[in-house]
Amino acid sequence: MDRRTFLKYGVVGGALLVVGGSGLALWKGALTFTPRRALRVMDDLAFNVTAAAAQAVVSVPDADAAELAHRVDEQLEHTTPEARTDFLKMTRALNSPLLGLILDGRPTPFLALDVSSRAQVLRQWGRSGLEVRRQAYHSMRKLCASAYYVDKASWLGIGYPGPPNLALVETP
């Protein structure tokens, strides 16, 4: 291949990359979870990514992913403005097919994956050499898991009897 042909292919390839990259950057996947009450910190995309992550974190049939995302949203309200911003950025990075392609060879938004593929992506983040991705993994995992087990309805399944009735307890 002569220099001119190489440059021609290079220009065409570059253009394709720009178009493809832009397309990937804009592809978000379907927002299938609809907030049921006003969001405190999140936007619709962050809400959907969190709900989708919650389905992978909490694999229990009765888990209501949208409700878990609401609880995470309400928890975030107690954190610092910087932590809230980081969380929103993290949901965008997690959903980004462009970043997925570059870092993991996955050119698909998180929201377009099935539950087991989402779990796989989260595990990849948890094992990543990039500290920021491991931070994101731990943050999302803790928030979603806590959001499920805060509910009394979850306790029976793990054998937690709940708080005692102190009116019936004698002081030893």
Partner 1 sequence: MKLTGYVDGSTQPDLTLTPEVCIIGSGAGGAVAAHELVTSGREVLVVEEGGNHTRRDFHMLEGEAYPQLYQEAGQRTTKDLSIVIMQGRAVGGTTVVNWTTCFRTPPEVLDHWRVHHGVVGVDTAALDPHWAAVEERLNIHKVPEALMNRNNRLLYEGCKALGWDVDTTRRNQKGCKQSGYCGMGCPVDAKQSMLITYLPDAVNKGASVLSRCRIDRLRIERGEVVEAQGTLLDAPGLRPTGKSVSIRAKKFVLSAGSIGTPAILLRSGIENPAVGRRTFLHPVVVSVGVYDDLVLSCYGAPQSAASHQFAHRGDKVGFVLEAAPLHPVLMAACTPGLGPNHRAAMELFPRVAVHIALCIDGFHPDEPGGVVGVHASGAPYLDYRSGPRIQEAMREAQQRMAEVQFATGARSVMTLHDPVLMLNDRSEIPRLKDASFAPLDVFMVTAHVMGGCALGEDPRHAVVRSEDLRAHDVKNLHVVDGSVFPTSLGVNPQLSIYGLARLASSRMAASWARG
In whole angstroms, the minimum distance from the beta carbon of 70 to partner 1 comes to 13
How many other C-beta atoms can be found within 10 angstroms of the C-beta atom of residue 74? 15
CA distance linking residue 111 with residue 45, whole number of Å: 9
Choose, by CB under 8 A, the member of 82, 105, 129, 153 that binds partner 1: 82
Residue closer to partner 1 by CB (options 26, 169) is: 169
Binding piece for partner 1, criterion CB under 8 A, among 10-18, 19-27, 99-107, 143-151: 143-151
The tokens of 101 are what?
């392609």
**91 closest CA partner among 128, 136, 147:** 136
Q: How many Cα atoms occupy the beta-carbon half-sphere of 147 within 13 Å?
A: 28
d(CA 41, CA 72): 9
- Which CB, 98 or 147, lies closer to partner 1? 147
Torsion 163-166-171-172 (CA) sign? negative
Query: Which of 15, 77, 89, 102 contacts partner 1 by CB under 8 A?
Result: 77
Cβ proximity to partner 1: between 58 and 98 the closer is 58
Residues that bind partner 1 (CB under 8 A): 56-60, 75, 77-83, 119, 122-123, 126, 131, 134-135, 138-139, 141-143, 145-146, 148-151, 154-155, 157-161, 163-164, 166, 169-172
